[in-house]
């Protein structure tokens, strides 16, 4: 059976209005039938043309590699406009066959009518075999324990950020999980921008179809139960899941429960950071005890600037040590040299080294770090506004100063030329301006 055929047609100015996504509220939603191990997840190579049934993650985006102009082949069926727009501003027109196709389901058999429609509207083209296939680009395979080939994309909380991560070839998406006041799990890095990102279900659906690894950075512990339920609904194989929690958020019992539901998922356990002192022996023992209680795949993300040999040596027997950077605490000048050094010291997990900050960015990040620790949400919202204002003022001030300096230099040059011209007529001082 061939997949639905879609064609691209240009988006005209008059067609910018997009109809609301249809919802089938009465469709029955079967309950999940159980977790899928990473070993059970089918993998289709770019050259596989055998016609074997695609994984359900493909079905959510069927036809992504078949997208072509209407003149692209004789197989094209007469198409009918449905108002779907992709990320490049082109309208996707679906054929009658596409419209009559069965409802999309995930690997657990759960109906994903709403999610599939929303993702189609977003226009993510993530089918197997396309240039976006992470297996072809980076050699990463969730069926093994090798994290050294992981390329992690930070803050993929919005549709735009996920689109950019896909285009740039990242094979892991990192999103930040929080809860809204009404109990909805959403993707947001900061507590005051919970309405800016995708919902957790949307984020997982995009990640599932793209076959990337999905790292969930749990910012609020109360979101964990809903996270586990959403992961089960998504049907994403355990090997592509990483749940990132801090030592202060959970205890050994909690991580054991996570492990029971996701036996092959990665647990990223963050030891407590004592600013100015790094990782204490007690903090390292706490996190390794949790890792031993959980068992299975464990990684310990530790910060680059305090990744001491003592910490790496203490953690490595219990899981894979990973490295991350906080711009406000420094980043290496040479990432290649730093990566080689870390590998030689026993770091076998993800190495995620950011770019150095400018002085302006350092000041803003430091301000945000200070205020993010404030207990009041109302107070925490202040630094964002201050930082935005500071950034705007900085750029405006720099622009004004540059313009003023340029005008002053030109004026000085003009004055010098005038003085030189006048002096040339005065005997004895004409050479002073040469």
pLDDT of 415 higher than 60: yes
Residue with tokens 């040339």: 424
Q: How far apart are alpha carbons 36 and 23 in whole angstroms? A: 28
Q: What is the pLDDT of residues 42-84, one digit of tens each?
A: 434 333 433 343 333 333 333 332 222 233 333 333 332 333 3
Residue 384 placed within a domain = no
Residue 99 placed within a domain = no
pLDDT of 244 higher than 70: yes
pLDDT of 24 higher than 80: no
- Best CA proximity match to 112, nearest among 63, 157, 59, 156: 59
pLDDT of 419 higher than 60: yes
Tokens representing residue 24 in the block: 């089938």
Residue 193 placed within a domain = yes
Between β-strands 298-303 and 79-85, what pairing exists: parallel, antiparallel or unpaired? unpaired
Residue 231 placed within a domain = yes
Q: Answer with the residue of higher pLDDT: 356 or 14.
A: 356
Least confident of 133-137, 336-340, 402-406: 133-137
Task: Please give the model's pTM, rounded to 2 decimal places.
Answer: 0.57
**Containing structural domain, residue 299:** 134-379
- Best CA proximity match to 277, nearest among 316, 303, 250: 303
Least confident of 115-119, 124-128, 319-323, 363-367: 124-128
pLDDT of 218 higher than 90: yes
Mean pLDDT, residues 339-361: 80
pLDDT band at 327 (very low <50, low <70, confident <90, very high): confident
Residue 307 placed within a domain = yes
- pLDDT attached to residue 131: 40
pLDDT, mean over the chain = 67
- Best CA proximity match to 227, nearest among 277, 168, 187, 274: 187
For helices 200-210 and 224-234, the axis angle rounded to 10 degrees is 40
Mean pLDDT, residues 285-310: 94
Q: How far apart are alpha carbons 267 and 206 in whole angstroms? A: 21
Tokens representing residue 325 in the block: 């950077």
Q: Are 47 and 128 in contact (CB under 8 A)?
A: no
CATH of the domain at 272: 3.20.20.190
pLDDT of 239 higher than 50: yes
Q: Answer with the residue of higher pLDDT: 105 or 7.
A: 105
pLDDT of 291 higher than 60: yes
- pLDDT attached to residue 40: 44
Mean pLDDT, residues 332-336: 85
- Best CA proximity match to 163, nearest among 217, 90, 87, 91: 87
- pLDDT attached to residue 85: 37
Q: Answer with the residue of higher pLDDT: 89 or 250.
A: 250
Distances (CA, A) of 9 to 79, 137, 160: 11, 29, 22
Residue 244 placed within a domain = yes
Q: How far apart are alpha carbons 401 and 395 in whole angstroms? A: 10
Residue 138 placed within a domain = yes
Residue 119 placed within a domain = no
- pLDDT attached to residue 341: 94
Q: Provide the number of structural domains found in the chain.
A: 1
DSSP letter assigned to residue 213: E
- pLDDT attached to residue 23: 32
Which residues, at least 6 apart from 91, have a Cβ–Cβ distance to it below 8 Å?
8, 9, 10, 11, 15, 81, 83, 84, 85
- Complete DSSP assignment for 315-359: HGGGSEEEEE--GGG---S-HHHHHHHHHHTT--S-EE--PPPPH
- Complete DSSP assignment for 9-38: EPPPGGG---PPPP--TTS--PPP--PPPG
Q: Are 254 and 218 in contact (CB under 8 A)?
A: no
Between β-strands 241-246 and 266-270, what pairing exists: parallel, antiparallel or unpaired? parallel
- pLDDT attached to residue 404: 63
- pLDDT attached to residue 160: 84
- pLDDT attached to residue 431: 55
Q: What is the pLDDT of residues 170-205, one digit of tens each?
A: 889 999 999 998 999 999 988 776 667 889 998 998
pLDDT of 383 higher than 60: no
């Amino acid at each position: 059976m061939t997949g639905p055929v879609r064609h691209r047609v240009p988006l005209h100015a008059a067609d910018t209005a997009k109809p609301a996504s249809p919802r089938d509220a009465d469709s029955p939603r079967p309950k999940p039938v159980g977790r899928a191990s990473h070993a059970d997840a089918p993998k289709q190579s770019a050259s596989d043309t055998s016609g074997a049934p695609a994984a359900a993650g493909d079905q959510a985006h069927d036809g992504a590699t078949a997208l072509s102009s209407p003149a692209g082949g004789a197989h094209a069926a007469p198409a009918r406009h449905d108002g779907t727009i992709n990320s490049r501003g082109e309208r996707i027109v679906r054929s009658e066959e596409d419209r009559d196709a069965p409802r999309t389901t995930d690997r657990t058999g759960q109906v994903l009518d709403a999610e599939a429609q929303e993702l189609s509207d977003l226009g993510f083209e993530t089918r197997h075999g396309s240039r976006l296939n992470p297996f072809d680009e980076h050699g990463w395979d969730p069926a093994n324990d090798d994290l050294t080939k992981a390329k992690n994309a930070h803050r993929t909380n919005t549709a735009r950020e996920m689109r950019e991560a896909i285009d740039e070839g990242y094979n892991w998406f990192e999103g930040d999980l929080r809860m809204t006041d009404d109990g909805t799990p959403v993707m947001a890095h900061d507590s005051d921008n919970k309405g800016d990102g995708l919902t957790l279900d949307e984020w997982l659906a995009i990640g599932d179809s793209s076959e990337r690894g999905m790292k969930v950075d749990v910012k609020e512990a109360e979101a964990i139960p809903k996270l586990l339920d959403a992961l089960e609904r998504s049907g994403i194989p355990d090997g592509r899941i990483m749940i990132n929690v801090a030592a202060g958020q959970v205890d050994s019992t909690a991580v054991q429960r996570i492990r029971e539901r996701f036996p092959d998922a990665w647990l990223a356990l963050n030891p407590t950071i004592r600013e100015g002192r790094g990782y204490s022996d007690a903090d390292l023992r706490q996190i390794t005890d949790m890792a031993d209680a959980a068992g299975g795949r464990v990684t310990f993300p530790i910060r680059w600037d305090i990744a001491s040999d003592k910490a790496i040596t203490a953690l490595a027997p219990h899981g894979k040590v990973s490295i991350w950077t906080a711009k406000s605490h420094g980043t290496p000048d040479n990432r290649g040299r730093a990566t080689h050094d870390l590998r030689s010291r026993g770091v076998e997990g993800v190495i995620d080294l950011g770019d150095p900050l400018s002085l302006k960015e350092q000041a803003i990040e430091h301000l945000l770090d200070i205020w993010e620790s404030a207990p009041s949400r109302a107070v925490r919202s202040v630094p964002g506004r201050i930082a935005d204002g500071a950034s705007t003022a900085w750029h405006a001030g720099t622009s004004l100063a540059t313009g003023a300096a340029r005008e002053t230099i030109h004026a000085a040059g003009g004055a010098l030329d005038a003085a030189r011209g006048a002096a040339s007529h005065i005997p004895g001082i004409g050479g002073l301006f040469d």
